[in-house]
Structure 1
Amino acid sequence: MDEVKLFGFWPSPFSRRVIWALKLKGVDYEYIEENLPHSKSNLLLQYNPVHKKIPVLVHGGKAIAESLVILEYIDGVWSQNPLLPNDAHERSVARFWAKFIDEKTRTMWEFFQKFGEEQEKAITTNLEILRTIEKHGLGEKKFFGGDKIGLPDLVFGMVIHMLVPMEEVVGVKLIKADTFPRLHAWMKNFSEEPVIKDNVPDHNRVIDFLKIRRESYRISSHHNH
């Protein structure tokens, strides 16, 4: 077997989704932690010279970058526990939601980075994004693709280990049971899956990490005003 290595950063939702995919597939891999944001290893820069970012998957000496691309690669190479449906239309729907969630959740973090009115605006935007995901993406299903975790679920998984601690640090709750009953149920279902539950970063450690980040945003927002 060709060896598999993953370059990641422990709180990163982008490397986390790749870890989950590898675990779901039962693929043995070596995990290499990058010391971000302070420094990047020469190997990381060598394997991902374009973006110079994690995650990077190295399979048999060949590098694959960008988490969505990596997830599709993993699904293409290891057929067990498929992340994408067989049906071409269902597959395109899954890809659509994975991409939509990936793009939108990057802006969702703004409520954590902003203060005052800008933060209020960001929260309003987030609620709209979540409404769209709940109504059109998840609907009445247990997971985005039905009964089993698939590509969009892994991408949306950041809400359980990153969004929840962010909410805690900021003091805002976005996904409430009464406002988003389906997403709320999804969070519970997703976080209780053994592969997910056994592979989330320590909550308190994430909180400590985020408190430092939040403070740095606060300082830079003062400097900018």
Structure 2
Amino acid sequence: MAGEQQPPPKPELVLLDFSVSPYGQRCRIALAEKGLAYEYLEQNLLGAKSDLLLRSNPVHKRIPVLLHDGHPVCESLVILAYLDEAFPDAAPALLPSDPYARARARFWAAYSDKVYEAGKRLWKLKGDARAQARDQIVRVLWNLDAELGDKEFFGGEVFGLVDIALVPFVPWLPSYERYGEFSVEETAPRLAAWARRCLERDSVANSLHPPEKVDEFITLLKKVYGIERSAGVEDRTSRR
């Protein structure tokens, strides 16, 4: 009927996410860097999951999920690569154009997950298991520091895939330092300086939680899952 208001168009991009998730934050940073508008839908990961999430990611049932015209794309690193391919005109590109550089970026982006994997063992475990986790995360940070070298970003002067993959773990590092009794500044000084440079970018600063909020969340998880009573509790925050 003439004069009737039409419903607003559905957004092209919808992100199913959880605010504290470093994996979801990867997607938010990438979307901001590329200037792509999207609708954000917060998901409940500590209780019953939404029907939309379960339908969109029936295999892993976890966030983040990017809906593009209703079609789901799952797993953070897959989403980042998809944004480059689906929106080639949205600069900057997250992946380098050279095939070898692109393969190397994908390797180190995937390797960055080890920061979180070792870090969660620091606050879940005790005794020798925690000591092993400490050794692991120190080794991972040292390897990342060596790969970065004296470059401004992992891709050189360009902020790209590896930076976006790794930087959401930065607010978790103070908690990991406390549980593991080590210093990022001493272990990986170039990486520590890189983190400070990344935090100066609006896309990063507007997407990450401050370290004290992350530490509060870890404390909450320890209570929710009874970590103090049982070191073998499943970590449900590991969403990719």
> What is the CA-CA distance between 1:40 and the residue it aligns to?
0.6
Which secondary structure state, in structure 2, belongs to the residue aligned with residue 21 of structure 1? helix
Higher helix share: 1
Question: Which entry has the higher C-alpha Rg, 1 or 2?
Answer: 2
- Structure 2 residue 80 is the aligned partner of structure 1 residue 71: yes
Counterpart pick for 1:183 among 191, 214, 223: 191
**Among 125, 147, 162, the residue aligned to 2:157:** 147
Instruction: Check if 1:132 corresponds to 2:159.
Output: no
* Compared CA separation, residues 127 and 61, structure 1 to 2 (3 A): same
Q: Distance in 2 between matches of 1:20 and 1:6?
A: 12
Alpha-carbon shift at residue 31 of structure 1 (Å): 0.5
- CA distance, structure 1, for counterparts of residue 137 and residue 210 of structure 2: 25
Query: Contact (CA 8 Å) 1:166, 1:207: kept in 2 or not?
Result: no
Are the equivalent residues in 2 in contact too, given 1:160–1:191 (CA < 8 A)? Answer: no
- 1:200 alignment partner AA: L
The aligned counterpart of 2:4 is none
Structure 2: how far apart are the matches of 1:172 and 1:217?
19
Taking the TM superposition and a 5 Å limit, the aligned residue runs for 1:205-224 are 205-215=213-223, 216-221=226-231
Q: Which runs of 4+ in 1 moved over 6 A?
A: none
CA distance in 2, matches of 1:125, 1:205: 25
Cα shift readout 1:120-176 (whole Å, capped 9, x = no counterpart): 1110111111111111x21221111011211111111133222334435x3734412
In the alignment of these two chains, the number of paired residues is 220
What does the per-residue CA deviation read over 1:165-197, in whole Å, with 9 as the maximum and x for residues that have no partner?
4435x3734412x33111111111111112111
* Structure 1 segments unaligned to the other structure (5+ residues): none
Identity %: 35
Determine if the alignment matches structure 1 residue 30 to structure 2 residue 39: yes
Q: What TM-score do you get using the length of structure 2 for normalisation? A: 0.84
- 151, 160, 163: which is aligned to 2:170? 160
- Select which of 56, 61, 68 maps to 1:47: 56
Structure 2: runs of 5+ lacking an equivalent: 1-9, 234-240
Secondary structure, counterpart of 2:199 in structure 1: helix
Q: What SS does the corresponding residue of 2:36 show, helix, strand or coil?
A: coil
Match of 2:108 in 1: 97
**Shift in Å at residue 202 of structure 1?**
4.2
RMSD over aligned Cα, in angstroms?
2.0
- Distance apart, 1:20 and its partner CA: 0.5
Q: Which amino acid aligns with 1:139?
A: G
Q: Secondary structure of 2:16's partner? A: strand
1:20 is matched with 29
1:112-131 superposed matches below 5 A = 112-131=123-142
TM-score w.r.t. structure 1 length? 0.90
SS at match of 1:109: helix
**Cα pair 2:142 2:188 within 8 Å, conserved:** yes
